[in-house]
Structure formats: C-alpha cells, structure tokens
Structure 1
Amino acid sequence: MRRPALYSSSPRAAQSADDLPAADAASDIAPAAPAAPAQRWQPGRRSFALLLLASAGLIGGTLFYGQRHGGLSLTQKDIDAAVLRTLQTNTLPSAAAKAAEIIRPSVVRVVGYGPEKATPEAKTEKRGRNLAKGKPPEAPAPPGEVERGVGTGVVIIDKGVILTNLHVVAGAEKIKVTFYDGLEADATIINVQPENDLAVLQAKKIPDDLIAASMRSTDGLQSGDQVVAVGFPFGIGPSVSSGVVSGLKRAFRSPEGKQELSNLIQFDAAANPGNSGGPLVNMDGEVLGIVTAILNPTQARTFIGIGFAVPIENAASAVGTPPF
C-alpha cells in the first residue's frame, strides 16, 4: 500500500498559541498549528542506540550476577563511567552523516536530454561534467542523446513523484531519473511552478522499496541551524555537504535577469551546478527546501559560500497539496 507524502511539524512550533509571534505580513505562507509528529525509526540513529543498549545490557548483567552471588555491587558512578567509556571508545557518526543516511534513499539523479545549450553557463556546466568523468574539458558529446542538463530531485511520494528545479528539465525532449538502487527510468513533467523554479516529475518505473522523504515546516527555522545538501554537483554523487542556515526570506535574481525568486532560505553548505533540485535537510534528514541557486558575481558558476533553497512549503504546493 502506497504511503502519502510525509510531513513533520516544526519542533519550535510546539509552543503555545499565546507565545507565537504574529504572522509576517510579507509572507504568503500561513502555517497552521502543527500536529504532534509521528515517531518513526531513523536509521541514522541505529548505531548510537545499539551502543547504549549494549552498555545497558552489560551493566544489567553485571548487577544481576552481583545480586545473585552476593559479590560485586555497582554504584551510579560506576554506571556513568561505563556508559562514558563506551561513548569515548566508539566512533559515532556525525550529525551530518546521519542526516545524509536518512535522506539518501529518496534522492535521485535527474538528466534532461535534447539539443545542447549554447549559453556560457551551459558550456561551463558541460566542462565541469567532463572533468568529473575524467575527460578533457572540451570533449565532444557522444553521438545520440545529448545531456542538456544534469540536476537532482527528491522523491516526495513513494509512487514516484519527484520534486526538482524547472531549469533542470526545461526544454528537454526526454528526462531520465536514476534512483538510489541504480534503477534508471524515464520521467515526465506533471506540474510546474515557474515563480519558484520548480517542476514535478512522475517516474514511469520505480523501485519496489522506494522511500519518500519526510518534510519539515520551516516555521521556526533560524539562522545558524545546521543543514545538509545532498545532490549531484557536476553529475558526481550523491554528494553530501553540510553547513548552516545563513539567512531567511532572501531574494535572488538570475544572472540573466530573467527571473527573480523571493522568500528563499540562504545557506552555506557547498552547492554547485548539478545540486539544483536537490533537498536541503535538517539533522533529522527532513526536507526543509529545494536547492535552486547559487550566488557568484563572476561567470565562474561555482560556489563562493551563498546558496539558496525554495522553502518546502512553496515546493510541496507545486504538487498541489500544501503540506502544513
């Protein structure tokens, strides 16, 4: 039985209604009172839990033996020292590694095929992809299908509904997505939201155990909160970068000046061409936004520390069902 898209309420939104600030008049999002999030097992927490269970089992067995045989008696200080030793002598995964482990099965590589673009930006991206594949920067494209654009997508409904950036697939004659298990499938555009540079794809074939990402409201998100970006920069990936939220409600105008995006999340986790359309997640692996742009005043089209993501409230509404 297919599961609908998963949503989690903001942990900071769990305060009482009297404590909440007035709604921002500049925002077009009016978050409803969130429901208590359902508890679910997070695979990234497994190693930490197993270590604590092992410590608890060892301590419990020692206590039982001591009580039965009238010998060893452990104090609370002994127990604390045993747990501390377990934590100090075992390497636990970082918070970013746990977040990446949770979201990775929902991340897909998106490739648009069609006539090759002749813009300077497209040529820069092509050189980057060639270098990533170990080819000369100006290596010609192979005959047949030409990669018009490479980006990232995230599965938000486990029947194969994928969010990505519109600029990744715009003008493509054919779209292919590659899932976490290596399955490659054709995909079609089923909806677009040009004002937020978003496209919704439907994969024609999906893995049997496809996992949809969970989404978290950005209500309560603050500058300094840790985030992770997962995607395919220059086609390499899935690649993981981590950083923090640098600002909220930012605006960005495309280098060509053709489009201006607003209400964006600014972040400093490394992102480059190919990260477009990928998820920006919190430390629980929940999607906060869709990576859509990087700021670089030069023509290099490389990351200098400022990236932007469309908040998940806007992104999920492109599917037709606002989540919060």
Structure 2
Amino acid sequence: MRRPAFYSRSPRTPPPAAEQAADPADATASPDAGGAAGTAGGAQALPSSSLKTGWQPGRKSFALLVVLCAALVTGGTVFWPRQGKALTQKDIDAAVMRTLQTATLPSAAAKAADIVRPSVVRVVGYGTEKATPEAKTQKRGRNMAKGKPPEAPSDGGPPGQVERGVGTGVVIVDKGVILTNLHVVAGAETIKVTFADGLEAVATITGVQPENDLAVLQAQKIPDDLIPAVMRSTADLRPGDGVVAVGFPFGIGPSVSSGVVSGLKRSFRSPEGKQELGNLIQFDAAANPGNSGGPLVNMDGEVLGIVTAILNPTQQRTFIGIGFAVPIENAASAAGSPPF
C-alpha cells in the first residue's frame, strides 16, 4: 500500500533525477537507481537540494503548533468572560438591604436642602435705624446670633446706614430675579443680597404684591453659574407631606429645618392687625425672624412657597410650631410669570 505524503500542501520542485530518467542513455547507465525506485513502489526520492527550495516544518514544529493551539483553546476559558448567574429580585433585595445596613445615607431633608441651596440668598436691608420695640428686638437677636452684645451697633452697611433687617430670598430666574417678603425690604434705603458662592450685590425692588407680602428683587451683579430654583405646583399638596425651610434665621445660615405640611388654605393676621393673608400653607418646620422670604420646598428640592410669617401669640417672636408660607403660584405671579 502506498503511503500518502505527509506534507501534502508543501510546494514541490521537479527533482533532477526525473529529468535524468527521461534520457534513455542515462537510464541504462544507472540500473541501481531503477531498482531502488522499484522497491519504493515507483516513487522517486527527492535529492537533498530540492528540500532547500522552500521551508517545510518538521514533526517537532508540528507538535509545537499543536501544543500552542491547545494552549489557546484552554486559555480562552480564562480570558473570555464567563456568563454569570442571572440576578433575581431576591439577590437585588439582599444587596439593597446590605447597603442600607452598612452605609449611612443622607436624609431626604438633606438632599432637598442641597438641591435648593445654590438658589437661596441672604437679603439685608440698610437704612436709618428705627427705634420701635420690634426693630430693637430684631437687632438684639441678630447681635446675639453673631456673638455680639445685644445692644452693639450694626456694622457692615453703607456709610451712614445701619442694618435694619435680615431675611432670605430665592432666585427664580437665572438673570438674578429674586423673590422675598415685602416686609423684609420695605423702607430699606439700600438692599444687598449675598449669593450661595459668597458674591455680594446691590439689589433693587422691581415689583411688589402687598396682598401677599411679596417683593421681587433684581440683583445688579450675579454669579456666572447662577442656578434658579425649580418651582412646583401646590395643587396636589396634602397635609402630612414632608417640607424643608431654608433661610437665615437671625442672620445665621443658610440654616435648614424640616417638618410637614400641617394644613392648607390658612389665614393669618399680622400682630398689628393691619393685614390679613389668606390661602397660606401651614407648616411645622422651625422658622424664626430671618427665615422670611425663604423657600419652603418639598423633598425633591422644588419650591412650594415663600415663608412669610409665624404664629406668635406672645411678644417674644419665637417659633411655637406654626409657620405660614405663600403658595408659589401667588409668589410667581408677583414676578409677572405664573408658572402653572
């Protein structure tokens, strides 16, 4: 039986012996070559010179090639990612529970305050110092909050003017339009606002809504990256919904307090009895003088209203658990752009 060629795809060059066999004279001159050819079954042996015409791997090279292929196949199970086990709802729940048990997550109130804080500004009114009991009480409170003697003179204002009132405002348009309470800036000769990044600017009153104790301010200088607050309709607001008040009580801040909506469509009459406000949001998040004009926001950091008053049956002007805010629908209309 004839043995098949091992390197069947290797290039072949006609051997010189074949050319010699074609010559009858040469064939008779070498009878031993013919006998050797017969014993090989008619196959012609290639001379050593023909093996040098092209590279042909030997058995060792072939074995090495086989080993390399096997290594690649075996290594594929290492380098190619294996298909993992499909996650079930039980696995997801377990991972969430493990995270809740091992990590301290920020509270909903903290997240809401972080969202609205870049839009909250400190509002200060300057002018001739008043001698009314209310003005003296507010001044003592501001001085004590700053660590000063209660009767220390105010400073930091324009020449010849003193700090008459401190409140809060919230930016609703990125061009520097600010909502605050009218009683915060009423009678002020100069109004200054301080933005979240520390920039201080003079502001002017561009609109008022006395029936809702609201004023609209326009800052003369604004930060490059001023972020306005997002306003949210109160149509679906319910008692018990969580709220956060951000402001500058007695000039300290920005300060954050949280609570819930206590009631809707409430009315409030000023201590002097000069004005009555209606359709107010009642809330129990702590508020004090200086919170006036600040935003009341939901747990998504969206502004629901403007803090405007606290119920205070005594003359101490301290928070007893009931505050009021003007709904944002009314507040935004004061700026000439009802949002809903």
Smaller-chain TM-score range? 0.7 to 0.9
1:182 is aligned to 198
1:273 is aligned to 289
Q: Kindly tell me: are residues 170 and 69 of structure 1, through their superposed partners in 2, closer, same or farther at Cα, counting changes over 3 Å?
A: closer
The alignment covers a number of residue pairs equal to 260
Over the matched positions of the two proteins, sequence identity in percent amounts to 85
Q: In the alignment, does 2:223 pair up with 1:223?
A: no
Q: In the alignment, does 2:274 pair up with 1:285?
A: no
Q: In the alignment, does 2:128 pair up with 1:112?
A: no
Match of 2:135 among 122, 125, 128: 122
Deviation at 1:68, TM superposition (A): 4.1
Query: Is the 1:121–1:301 Cα contact (8 Å) retained in structure 2?
Result: no
Q: In the alignment, does 2:251 pair up with 1:235?
A: yes
Q: Kindly tell me: are residues 75 and 323 of structure 1, through their superposed partners in 2, closer, same or farther at Cα, counting changes over 3 Å?
A: closer
In structure 1, how many angstroms separate the alpha carbons of the residues matched to 2:231 and 2:211? 21
Q: Kindly tell me: are residues 135 and 81 of structure 1, through their superposed partners in 2, closer, same or farther at Cα, counting changes over 3 Å?
A: same
1:171 is aligned to 187
Tell me the amino acid that sits aligned with residue 283 of structure 1.
Answer: M
Please give the residue correspondences for 1:73-88 in structure 2 after superposition, counting only pairs within 5 Å. Answer: 73=85, 76=88, 77-88=90-101
Query: Is the 1:112–1:176 Cα contact (8 Å) retained in structure 2?
Result: yes
Query: Is the 1:132–1:236 Cα contact (8 Å) retained in structure 2?
Result: yes
Tell me the amino acid that sits aligned with residue 128 of structure 2.
Answer: P
Deviation at 1:145, TM superposition (A): 2.6
- Three-state SS of the structure 2 residue aligned to 1:134 is coil
Tell me the amino acid that sits aligned with residue 226 of structure 1.
Answer: G
Tell me the amino acid that sits aligned with residue 315 of structure 1.
Answer: A
Measured against aligned partners, the alpha-carbon deviations of 1:282-316 in whole angstroms (never above 9, x if no partner) come to 00000000000001100001100000000000000
1:95 is aligned to 108
Query: Is the 2:129–2:161 Cα contact (8 Å) retained in structure 1?
Result: no
Query: Is the 2:311–2:322 Cα contact (8 Å) retained in structure 1?
Result: yes
In structure 2, how many angstroms separate the alpha carbons of the residues matched to 1:274 and 1:255? 17
1:304 is aligned to 320
- Three-state SS of the structure 1 residue aligned to 2:308 is strand
Please give the residue correspondences for 1:1-324 in structure 2 after superposition, counting only pairs within 5 Å. Answer: 68-69=81-82, 73=85, 76=88, 77-142=90-155, 144-324=160-340
Q: Kindly tell me: are residues 122 and 78 of structure 1, through their superposed partners in 2, closer, same or farther at Cα, counting changes over 3 Å?
A: same
In structure 1, how many angstroms separate the alpha carbons of the residues matched to 2:209 and 2:87? 62
Structure number with higher relative contact order (C-alpha < 8 Å, ≥ 6 residues apart): 1
Q: What residue ranges of structure 2 are gaps of 5+ in the alignment? A: 1-77
Query: Is the 1:193–1:318 Cα contact (8 Å) retained in structure 2?
Result: yes
- TM-score, normalization by structure 2: 0.73
Q: What residue ranges of structure 1 are gaps of 5+ in the alignment? A: 1-64
Query: Is the 1:106–1:155 Cα contact (8 Å) retained in structure 2?
Result: yes
CA-atom RMSD, angstroms? 1.9
- Three-state SS of the structure 2 residue aligned to 1:127 is helix
Query: Is the 2:246–2:257 Cα contact (8 Å) retained in structure 1?
Result: yes
Deviation at 1:323, TM superposition (A): 1.2
Flag the structure with larger Rg.
2
Deviation at 1:101, TM superposition (A): 0.2
Tell me the amino acid that sits aligned with residue 153 of structure 1.
Answer: G
In structure 1, how many angstroms separate the alpha carbons of the residues matched to 2:255 and 2:191? 21
Tell me the amino acid that sits aligned with residue 147 of structure 1.
Answer: E
